[in-house]
């Protein structure tokens, strides 16, 4: 079946989302830059424009279907990625798309990584904060406060 698009912007959006999902699925192609572009798309969808966005992201209108598709592709990458730096960046990008319905998923990630990696723990805590769940002690946190963050994460996990 051939689909003819009246709106070239719509086709550009579909191409960008498809390309990003393809990159996320390919361990060799997926990089920090991939996650950065995914985060830009999520912020675009949420209406947080930024002059730093690449032109291909600025020029599209992301709809709910493509937002959810890209989010699913990112979750799949998070579940299969073994490089902790890439996992942390992927979770940072996911935090840009996090919704209340992601609380269980994010809590599972927090439980998985709390004793493994301080940066990942911090990124999950930030993502939970983006949906209104405050875990950091005294209202803020730093990626450098690994043990403080772990203690706060463990406290949250025991209460969650």
pLDDT tens, per residue, the chain with 160 residues: 334 444 444 555 578 899 999 999 999 999 999 999 999 999 888 887 667 766 766 667 788 998 999 999 999 999 999 999 999 999 999 999 999 999 999 999 999 999 999 999 999 999 999 999 989 877 667 888 899 999 999 999 997 6
pTM: 0.85
Q: Give the residue extent of every domain in the chain.
A: 7-82, 98-160
Strand locations in the chain (E) = none
CA distance 8 to 129: 37
Matching residue, tokens 């992301």: 62
Nearest of 36, 143, 1 to residue 153 by alpha carbon: 143
Count Cβ atoms below 10 Å from residue 108 Cβ, excluding itself.
Answer: 12
Provide the angle, in degrees to the nearest 10, between the axes of the packed helices 103-113 and 118-130: 160
């Amino acid at each position: 079946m051939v689909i003819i698009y009246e709106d070239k912007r719509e086709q550009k959006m579909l191409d960008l989302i498809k390309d990003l999902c393809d990159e996320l699925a390919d361990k060799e192609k997926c990089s920090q830059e991939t996650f950065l572009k995914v985060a830009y798309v999520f912020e675009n969808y949420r209406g947080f424009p930024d002059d730093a966005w690449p032109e291909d992201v600025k020029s599209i209108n992301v709809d709910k279907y493509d937002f959810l598709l890209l989010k699913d592709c990112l979750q799949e990458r998070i579940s299969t990625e073994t490089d902790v730096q890439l996992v942390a960046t992927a979770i940072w990008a996911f935090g840009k798309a996090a919704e209340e319905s992601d609380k269980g998923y994010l809590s599972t990630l927090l439980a998985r990584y709390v004793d493994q990696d301080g940066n990942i723990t911090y990124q999950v805590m930030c993502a939970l904060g983006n949906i209104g769940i405050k875990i950091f002690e005294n209202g803020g946190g730093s990626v450098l406060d690994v043990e403080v963050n772990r203690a706060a994460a463990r406290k949250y996990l025991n209460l969650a």
